[in-house]
Amino acid sequence: MKKEIKIIYEDKNLLAINKPAGLMVHPTADTKEKTLVDWLLKKYPKIEGVGDPSASSGQVDPLRPGIVHRLDKDTSGVLIVAKTQEAFDFFKKQFAEREIKKEYLALVDGHLKKDWGIIDLPIGKSKADFRKKTTQTKSAGKTREAQTEYRVLEKFDKYDLVQLFPKTGRTHQLRVHLRALNHPVVCDKLYGFNGSICPPGLERQFLHAKSIELLLLNGKNLKIEAELPADLKTTLAELRAK
């Protein structure tokens, strides 16, 4: 696998990695490229039977072994994987009960009106584009509650650097919520504005899963942090130099 996967933390139950941008977490029906799951199965073959059993077959989904949560392909940062079934059930319960704390960093187009706030907008499927989610009331099917806390860390000429604390875990939640405020993540090809200009040299959305805090099976609390990758560091350094 060309993209380097850095292990941040590991014990007998848990694996935490710094996922590089451009790497899919698990394959889909039409995926031919290598994914994180390919790497996991090669390095940890015993993980194959870890996960949620299918209602129809009773077998664990072979495409998602140990995967408790996911990150979008072009989002970098900390991602945890359960190495045992006991750990999978334990961490999944924490996610379901919103006990796991996550922090992201994003560079957004323009300047937010408030330096702190909570985005409380339900999310559903877009009628206009099957790839997208939306906060619009006329979504396809049911919407699900979604909350994101944000805090502006730094202001640049055309952008804000923000901390994001998702309280729920909906697909594309952060990207959809920021678009709903008319301040999408810069270089977001799906939710960004048409004609929006990326900072020079940045070739993917500026969204990074900085940290995750959870309870281990031994009762200890653990905070895992993923270093900001080189492309995002370079972008910030160039913006600060202006």
Q: What percent of the chain is predicted at pLDDT more than 90?
A: 76
pLDDT in tens, 177-227: 999 999 999 999 999 988 778 898 899 999 999 999 999 999 999 999 999
Look-up of token digits 């875990």: 169
pLDDT the model gives residue 118: 97
Q: How many CB atoms lie within 10 A of CB 104?
A: 23
Rounded CA separation 84/47 (Å): 7
**Where do the domains of the chain lie, and which CATH numbers do they carry?**
6-241 (3.30.2350.10)
pLDDT, the chain, mean: 91
Amino acid at 28: T
What's the pLDDT at 133? 85
Instruction: Report the residue count for the chain.
Output: 242
How many CB atoms lie under 10 A from the CB of residue 18? 21
Residue of 30, 52, 61, 72 marked active site? 72
pLDDT at 151: 98
The first and second tokens of residue 60, run together, are: 């664990």
Q: Are strands 133-134 and 76-82 parallel, antiparallel or unpaired?
A: unpaired
Helix/strand/coil for 49: helix
pLDDT 10s digits, 79-118? 999 999 999 999 999 999 999 999 999 999 999 999 999 9
For this structure, is 72 an active site residue?
yes
Looking at residues 137-148, what average pLDDT do you find?
Answer: 80
